Structure 1
Amino acid sequence: MKKKITKEIITDAAMELLDEKGIEGVTIKNTAIKLAIKPPSLYNHIANLEDLLDMTARKSMKNLYEKLMLASIGLEKKEALWGIAYEYRSFAKNYPGQYQLTQKVKLWKSDETKQIPEQILGIFSKILQKYALSEDETIHFIRTLRSYLHGFILLEMEEAFGLPQELEKSFTLGVNVILTELDSSSNLNNQ
């Protein structure tokens, strides 16, 4: 007896392809092969490749959101931001295709998918409330930290750090510089 195909099963198959082969590997044909069905059968559950990628992006971002939440639970301020920084990098290493898709805004089509980044932003914003930053300063800080993390992750994934110095120390130094600036800005605001 064949297993009943659902959107969830299709998304799970696409997620596997995503981390095995990257975004380019998520196709109707590859997903059907993974599920051992004929490609036209997928159209009973999804509209097209765009729909499949949107569903997969939604699940990828939910995974990232949940991991960042868990990494920051029970922590405040600097410790929470450290937890998030390490988990963000860990997510990219462990789920490279999912991470890649969480950065491809143009592939997010549904309103439901587009709302998840706002939830992720909310994690950062809640932690930063303790720093007494203005709304603009909060956004600038989030952009700075995210840019550093994303840039470091991309260079690391591409094996572009060719020098022998330990990567962990470089990563820690960068996060430390950003968090030290955050402390300085917060102290100035509290005077």
Structure 2
Amino acid sequence: MSPRPKIGLDLASILEVAGILADQHGMQEVTLANLAKKLKIRPPSLYNHFNGLPDLRKKLAIYGLEKLYAELSQAATGASVHDDILAISKAYVSFARKHPGIYEATLLAPDPEDVNVQLAGEKIVDLAVQVLKALDLNEDYTLHAVRGLRSILHGFSALEQRGGFKMSLDLDESLIITIKAFFAGMENIGGR
């Protein structure tokens, strides 16, 4: 018989604490021992929820993807494709700023081919596809646009997190200009 988990200690609350640990100290510090210490429990108790460190990291990646999706979907209001993509872009970068460790976790799933990781990521892709369909691109070009947008947003977020933008220019304005250039490019490239 397995030991019973600590009362009030469910997977969601454990992942929330793991996310805080990641945000404050980076993913390298998200270990079963560090998480147990933060939760004030013994490390073996975590095996009621995880099959080792890779499983913890996989579940934290899914948790992060779901949190990111929630923020992106809330940003997309359906006003216009331009407004929605700009709002989604701002929400994405804001998420990476507020949750640098959780954002890192979304990129470090031990097995990105895991069905649950794929499903969590697909929701984000599907949201972007739905919004970008308003550009009236064919299916392939819409997917190319999703890849391009993700590349822009991840690159921007990664450079910002690593201190790559040292100039005194406003970062949010740089993001807006970059996304507007993305629109202009996608609208002029064809693929209709």
When the two structures are superposed, what TM-score results if normalisation uses the length of structure 2? Answer: 0.89
1:179 aligns with 2:186: no
Q: Encode CA deviations 1:95-122: one digit per residue, 9 max, x unaligned.
A: 1111111122544464222211111000
Q: Secondary structure at the match of 2:16?
A: helix
How many percent of aligned residue pairs carry the same amino acid?
Answer: 32
What residue is the counterpart of 1:137 in the other structure?
141
1:62-73 alignment, distance < 5 Å: 62-73=66-77
Letter in 1 for 2:87: G
**Structure 1 contact 7–46 (Cα < 8 Å) conserved:** no
Q: CA RMSD for the aligned pairs? A: 1.8
SS at match of 2:48: coil
Of residues 87-96 and 104-113 in structure 1, the stretch that sits farther from structure 2 once superposed is 104-113
2:19–2:102 CA contact under 8 A, matched in 1: yes
Partner of 1:39: 43
Q: Which runs of 5+ in 2 are unaligned?
A: 1-5
Contact 2:86-2:176 at 8 Å conserved across structures: no
Report the counterpart of residue 112 of structure 1 in structure 2.
116
Deviation larger for 128-137 or 177-186: 177-186
**1:82-137, CA deviations, whole angstroms, 9 ceiling, x for partnerless residues?**
11010000000001111111122544464222211111000111112222211111
Distance 1:7 1:142 in 2: 32
1:92 paired to 2:102: no
Greater than 3 Å deviation, 4+ residue runs: 105-110
Aligned length: 187
What is the CA-CA distance between 1:74 and the residue it aligns to? 3.2
Contact 1:57 1:108 in 2 (8 A): no
Distance (whole Å) between structure 1 residues aligned to residue 173 and residue 11 of structure 2: 43
Specify every segment of 5 or more residues in structure 1 that has no aligned partner in the other structure, as ranges: none
Q: Secondary structure at the match of 1:43?
A: helix
TM-score, length basis structure 1: 0.89
